[in-house]
């Protein structure tokens, strides 16, 4: 669970535990409200993260590399949704 901003590092360290694997990278897809769509965060085996947005107004043509500070802000903003996913995966396992 992410209840404090300093817990984001632990979540990112264990990202693979909560994300799905597509054969190459781990990914976590979050629904966005404004604009309506999705934000997908991906982690590669080398440890770097990227993101991709797709919504009713536009979508990114390719994945975009993301710096740790911006990634932390995104995770903090989506912590309620992420915490729900963590709870669901804890119950399922």
pLDDT tens per residue across span 2-61: 999 999 999 999 999 989 999 999 999 999 988 999 999 999 999 999 999 999 999 999
Is residue 3 left, alpha or beta, with left meaning phi > 0 and alpha meaning psi from -120 to 50?
A: alpha
Rounded Cα distance between 57 and 5, Å, is: 30
pLDDT for 92 beyond 70: no
Strand partners, 77: none
Return the pLDDT at 78. Answer: 94
Query: How would residue 91 be classed by pLDDT, with cut points 50, 70 and 90?
Result: low
Between 83 and 93, where is the model more confident?
83
- State the pTM of this model: 0.89
Q: What is the DSSP string of 11-38?
A: HHHTHHHHSEE-SS-EEEEEEETTTTEE
Domain boundary assignment for the chain = 5-92
């Amino acid at each position: 669970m992410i209840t404090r901003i300093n817990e984001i590092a632990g979540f990112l360290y264990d990202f693979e535990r909560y994300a799905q694997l597509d054969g190459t990278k781990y990914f976590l897809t979050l629904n966005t409200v404004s604009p309506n769509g999705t934000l997908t965060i991906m982690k590669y085996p080398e440890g770097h993260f990227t993101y991709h947005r797709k919504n009713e107004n536009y979508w990114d043509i390719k994945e975009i590399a993301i710096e740790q500070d911006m990634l932390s802000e995104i995770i903090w903003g989506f912590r309620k949704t992420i915490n729900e996913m963590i709870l669901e995966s804890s119950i399922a396992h």
